[in-house]
Amino acid sequence: MSKALASAILQKGPPALSGKTITYGTAGFRANADMLECVMFRVGVVAALRSLQTHKMVGVMVTASHNPAADNGSKIVDQDGGMLVHEWEVFATRLANSTDEADMSSTIDSFYPDFNSQAAGGSATVVLGRDTRVSSPKLAELVKQGILTCGDRGGGVCRWHDTCGGEGAKVVDLGIVTTPQVHWAVLRANQKGDGQVPPLQGYYEEHAQALKVLLGSKQTNVKFHVDCANGVGAKAVEEMNKTLSEHSIGFSLVPFNVGDGDPELLNEGCGAEHVQKSRKLPSGVPASGGNDKFASFDGDADRVVVWYKKDSNLVLLDGDKIAALFSVYLCHLLDASKLKLSLGIVQTAYANGSSTSFMSSVLAKHKENVTGEVSCVATGVKHLHHQALHYDIGVYFEANGHGTVIFSDSARSKIEERSRGGDAAAQTLHAFASLINPAIGDALSDLLAVMVVLEVEGISLEQWAGYYEDLPSIMTKVLVKDRNAIKTTKDEQRVTEPKELQDAVDAAVSKVEQGRCFVRPSGTEDCVRVYAEAGKQETANKLAEDVGTDITFPSL
Q: What is the pLDDT of residues 4-15, one digit of tens each?
A: 999 999 999 999
What does the pLDDT read at residue 114? 87
Residues shown for the chain: 556
What does the pLDDT read at residue 160? 37
Note whether residue 176 is domain-resident: yes
Q: For residue 116, how far is the Cα from the chain centroid?
A: 34
pLDDT above 60 for 161: no
Instruction: Name the binding residues for Mg(2+).
Output: 65, 298, 300, 302
**Same domain assignment for residues 31 and 109:** yes
Cα-Cα-Cα-Cα torsion 21, 99, 82, 208, nearest 10 degrees, comes to 90
For residues 173 and 182, give the distance between their C-alpha atoms in angstroms, rounded to a whole number. Answer: 10
Mean pLDDT, to the nearest integer, of 330-347?
Answer: 95
**Same domain assignment for residues 334 and 432:** yes
Name the amino acid, one letter, at 298. D
**Same domain assignment for residues 257 and 141:** no
Question: Which stretch, 149-163, 338-352, 513-527, has highest mean pLDDT?
Answer: 338-352
- CATH code of residue 496: 3.30.310.50
Note whether residue 556 is domain-resident: no
Helix or strand run (H / E) with residue 534: none
551 within 8 A of 519, measured Cβ to Cβ: yes
Q: Kindly report which listed range (27-36, 54-63, 75-84, 120-129) carries the lowest average pLDDT score.
A: 120-129
What does the pLDDT read at residue 553? 62
What does the pLDDT read at residue 150? 87
**Same domain assignment for residues 98 and 191:** yes
What does the pLDDT read at residue 167? 57
**Same domain assignment for residues 341 and 270:** no
- Known active-site residue 65: yes
Query: pLDDT tens, 435-463?
Result: 999 999 999 999 999 999 999 999 999 99
Mean pLDDT, to the nearest integer, of 107-131?
Answer: 88
Note whether residue 555 is domain-resident: no
CB atoms within 10 A of CB 315: 16
**Same domain assignment for residues 103 and 7:** yes
Q: Which domain, by its residues, includes 519?
A: 473-550
For residues 241 and 243, give the distance between their C-alpha atoms in angstroms, rounded to a whole number. Answer: 5
Query: pLDDT tens, 480-515?
Result: 888 888 999 999 999 999 999 999 999 999 999 999
What does the pLDDT read at residue 176? 96
* Structural domain ending residue among the three candidates 417, 445, 465: 465
What does the pLDDT read at residue 155? 34
- CATH code of residue 298: 3.40.120
**Same domain assignment for residues 168 and 217:** no
Query: pLDDT tens, 66-75?
Result: 999 999 999 9
**Same domain assignment for residues 332 and 443:** yes
User: Considering 65, 123, 296, 445, which one is annotated as catalytic?
Assistant: 65
Average pLDDT, the chain: 92
**If pLDDT is split at 50, 70 and 90, which confidence band does 290 have?**
low
What does the pLDDT read at residue 396? 97
243 within 8 A of 215, measured Cβ to Cβ: no
**Same domain assignment for residues 268 and 330:** no
* Structural domain ending residue among the three candidates 197, 218, 249: 197
**Same domain assignment for residues 226 and 274:** yes
**Same domain assignment for residues 238 and 348:** no
Query: pLDDT tens, 19-55?
Result: 888 999 888 999 999 999 999 999 999 999 999 999 9
For residues 293 and 273, give the distance between their C-alpha atoms in angstroms, rounded to a whole number. Answer: 18
Cite the DSSP H helix spans in 15-112. Answer: 37-54, 86-97, 101-111
Query: pLDDT tens, 212-260?
Result: 999 998 889 999 999 999 999 999 999 999 999 999 999 999 999 999 8
Note whether residue 478 is domain-resident: yes
551 or 319: whose pLDDT is higher?
319
pLDDT above 80 for 531: yes
* Structural domain ending residue among the three candidates 411, 437, 465: 465
Bridge partner residues of 170 (DSSP): 125
**Same domain assignment for residues 113 and 225:** no
193 or 290: whose pLDDT is higher?
193
Mean pLDDT, to the nearest integer, of 123-136?
Answer: 95
Note whether residue 363 is domain-resident: yes
- Domain total in the chain: 4
441 within 8 A of 233, measured Cβ to Cβ: no
**If pLDDT is split at 50, 70 and 90, which confidence band does 263 have?**
confident
Query: pLDDT tens, 196-212?
Result: 999 999 999 999 999 99
CB atoms within 10 A of CB 246: 11
Query: pLDDT tens, 381-409?
Result: 999 999 999 999 999 999 999 999 999 99
Mean pLDDT, to the nearest integer, of 257-271?
Answer: 91
